[in-house]
Structure formats: C-alpha cells, structure tokens
Structure 1
Amino acid sequence: MNYVGIDIGSTASKVVARGPNAFHFVLPTGWSSKETTMSIKDTLLEKGIDVLSDDTKTVSTGYGRAAVDFSDYTITEITCHARGGRELAGDNCSIIDVGGQDTKVIIVVNGTVQDFQMNDKCSAGTGKFLEIMANRLGVTLQELFEMAEKGTVLPISSLCTVFAESEVINYIGEGRNREDIAAGVVDSVASKVAQLCQRKVLSQNTILTGGLSHNEYFTKILSQKIGHPVASTANGRYAGALGAALLAEEKASKNAPQKV
C-alpha cells in the first residue's frame, strides 16, 4: 500500500508519500487549488503512484483540502499538523506552525491535542507578510533574512499588513538601511508569533514547522521572544502532509478486514 498526505496551503502545497514508494515534494499553490491538485495527481503518477488505485490511500488537509476530489479522507489542519509534529518531536510537544496565511500553536500531550490557538485573520504574523515585505525591498525571502542578521531593528508596530507596509515605505523614503528595515520586518513577525504563543503554556520540547522551520535565524529570534528554546526542523514545512500520510495509513489499518 501507498499512503499519501496532501497539504494544500495558501502559498505552497506539500505532498508526502509513504510505503514502498516513499518521497515528498512541494509545489506553489498558485491562484487555483483545483489546478494545483491536478498537478499533484500528475506528479504522483509520474513517480509511480496512482491515487485512483485500490492500493493507495490519500488524506488531504490545509486551506484547499476540499479541492482534492480524489482523497479518501479530508482531515483538519490541526489534527494533521499535530500528528506530523508528534512524528518529528514525540508524543509530548508544542508545535508552532508559521504558514503563508495563518499561524498555529498546537499543544500535544501524550499523543493527543490538548489545546491549540490560531492567529486572527490579519496576515501580519505570517509568511505572507514576509513575502510582501521582501518584494517591497526588492529581495528574495532568503536575502531578507540574510540582511536582517546584519541590521539593527527598526520598530514596525502596526498589527495590520497594509499599515505595516506603510511604515516600511516611510523608512525607505527616509533613506534607512535595507538591513535595518529587514531586521525590523523579521522582528515584527517573530513578536506577533510570540504573542500568540504566550496565550498557551508551551512545553520545553517546542518545534517550529511551516515554511520558516529550517530558518535558524528566525528560530533564534523567536526563542528569545518566547523565553525558551524553539527547535528548527529540516523538513518542518511537510509536517501537515506527513501527518496526513500517517493518518491515511492508520485509518487504512483500522478499516482493514480482520483475519479469522
């Protein structure tokens, strides 16, 4: 059997396949989750997995999970990210997921979701805000972080992305260093994520997932603001898709006919 987890995010779509044919990949979500879903289906087939066959079970999750019309199960982001986080960090952990559209804090105790918190609708504490600000500064996301490490933080206090962008535009107009503006942008996002985390009691075993999960600089800043270590994860952006694939396997095992 092959077990496939598909996490259709607002910015990127992640896929994890488990079983004899194991691999993972990511695609931009683009403007249409439906089109992205078809691209995922084609890519899986190229890699040897036919999602319509009886020997494949699929779970979809994320912002566009309803668009995956060939999935066997549709499961919420919280459940899938918690399952993927457990696989990465163990049965007692806290998961901070900074996505393109939202940020989630999930508390897992003895393998079960004990509590969770999601940010408000504003994107100022998410990856989308960083992308917007990187575009405004004319750099890539990676370059934004490299610049931020060299800069001195300029305060960006607005909670709204539109007003925060206005602050950045004002700094640019004043001729401030891009490194300092970049440092302010990253610090602003880390502060907003930390504020969300402070609403919950995090365990010492706390990991970062999502698109920034491998970024050691962001992880360091976030750790300082929360007041205890947050561990970066190399494949943390796949946490939701990994959890979905694991749940597909667990559901298939539970529903399998018992031998007499």
Structure 2
Amino acid sequence: MYTMGIDIGSASSKAVILKDGKEIVSTAVAQIGTGSTGPSKVMAEVLEKANLTEKDIEKTVTTGYGRFSIDMADKQFSEISCHAKGIHFLIPTAKTIIDIGGQDAKAIKLDKTGRVKQFFMNDKCAAGTGRFLDVMSRILQVDLDEMGDYDSMADEPSVVSSTCTVFAESEVISQLSRGLKKQNIIAGVHNSTAAKACSLAYRAGVEDDVVMCGGVAQNSGVVRAISMELGTNVIVAPNPQTTGALGAAIYAYEATLAEEAI
C-alpha cells in the first residue's frame, strides 16, 4: 500500500511516499510554496522518483499553510501533528522538536509515545525564521548554503540584538560599515535566530532528545547556536525539510487501516 504526504509551506513544498506505513519510497522538495506551482511540481517529482502514478496512491494527506489547496487530498492535518508524527517515526527518543521554516518557528514537546503535550509558535514577525536568514544573507552577500561555513570561522560573534527583521537589517549594515568580519556577524545572526527559537522551546519545556527540523535545520551555524543556547546536543532530523510530509503520509496510512477495520 502506498500513501502520500504533502507539506505545502510558505516558502517550499515537500512530498513523501510511504509503502505499508514503514518504508520511505521517495521524497521531493520544491523551493516554491503555497499559491504557486510548487505543490503540483513536488507531486509530479515524488511520483516520478517512485515510478508510480496517482492511481497507485491509496490515500493522500496534506499539511502546512496550503494544505486546503489540493483538491485530490483525502484529509488535512496541522503541521504540528505531522511534524510530531514524522519525527517520532524517525527518532523515537525525541521529546523536544524545534522546527524553523520559511516564515515561522515552532517548539513542540512530545511524550514518550510521540504525542504532542505542548507547543508554541512565533508571532507573524519573520525574525528568527528562514526569511530572516534570507534577508541577512543578501545584505552580507553570502549564499545561504555557505553561512554555516562562515559561522565555523567566527572568533568573536557580534551581537544582533534587534527583534525586528527591519531593525536587525540596519544593525547588520552598521556592523559591516564598522569593518566587522562577516563570519562574526553571521555567527551573531545565528545566535539571534537561536535565541528566538529557544525562547519558544523554554516555554514548551526542553527535554532530551532535542531534534531540529525544517529548512533552517540544514544551516549548521543555527544548529550550533541552538545547541549552545540549550546546553545540549541538538539532533538534526534526516531530510529535515520533509518531516511534516512524512508525518502526513503516516497519517494517510493510519487512516486507510482505520477504514479497512470498519
């Protein structure tokens, strides 16, 4: 039995196909999100990778901002539930999840069975999200995928104290004009991002294992900063962008079993 999960976020679309609720057959990520061609592109790609068609998929569950935009979906679940389900599948010892996506950040507390005990999300401000890092990378003229490398070379991280992306932008420009090293500014940006994400985690209650997912989990500098802030080793989930889609695919499988049992 094949089931599909699709996570349509603000900045990207992700999909996972699962076989018999246990085997990840294929995954795909399109770097365009809701309101675009992202969902259709990611569906086509994940099916092609698995050498399957829509007719082969028993059930499809969607999640994320754009979860109601796909007519062929059988069910929709919140991203909180899907990230929890996906992370527990991958890392059963996870108790705290930090998810940083394109325009939001979440902290989720799990019990030992993987159920959500508590969660907190940031407000609508982009500070501490992927969007914040995207703005900073453009100001610093450093590619996003290189920011982790710069972070590793920092010897005296700067302080980026502004909680607003616009004010932080001015702060970083000022630091550049004063001749501060880019690697130290980038480390400061990562520390600022970590502080905002960890404030959510503290509210939810931090307990090991701490697992990070979302697109920003691919930035080793942010992972370093969060680990330092929390005083614990943060585990990066395998394919961290697709954990929500994986959880949705698992929900699709469980829903199919429940219907068959009736």
Same fold (TM over 0.5): yes
Superposition CA RMSD, Å: 1.9
Q: Report the alpha carbon displacement of residue 173 of structure 1 after superposing the two structures with TM.
A: 2.1
**CA deviation string 1:67-87 (max 9, x = no partner):** 222111111111101101111
Match of 2:106, SS state, is strand
Counterparts of residues 1-260 of structure 1 (less than 5 Å)? 1-19=1-19, 22-29=25-32, 33-47=35-49, 48-51=51-54, 53=55, 55-90=57-92, 93-109=95-111, 110-151=113-154, 152-256=156-260
Number of residues of Structure 1 aligned to a counterpart in Structure 2: 256
Contact 2:13 2:31 survives alignment (8 Å): yes
* C-alpha distance in structure 1 between counterparts of 2:206 and 2:64, whole Å: 23
Identity fraction in percent: 38
Displacement over 4 Å in runs of 4+: none
- Cα separation, partners in 2 of 1:36 and 1:129, compared to 1, 3 Å: same
SS in 1 for 2:234: coil
Partner letter of residue 230 of structure 2? I
Q: Deviations over 1:118-140 (max 9, x none)?
A: 11111111111111111111111
3-state DSSP of counterpart to 2:216: coil
| Alpha carbons of structure 1 residues 183 and 217: separation in structure 2 relative to 1, 3 Å | closer
C-alpha change, 1:40 and 1:79, in structure 2 (3 Å) is: same
How far 1:54 moved relative to its partner? 6.7
1:75-110 Cα shifts (integer Å, max 9, x gaps): 111110110111122165111111111111111113
Q: Distance in 2 between matches of 1:199 and 1:16?
A: 31
Secondary structure, in 3 states, of the residue corresponding to 1:212?
Answer: helix
SS at match of 1:158: coil
CA contact (8 A) 1:34 1:67 kept: no
Q: Which runs of 5+ in 1 are unaligned?
A: none
TM-score (norm 2): 0.90
CA distance in 2, matches of 1:9, 1:121: 14
Superposed displacement of residue 213, structure 1: 2.6
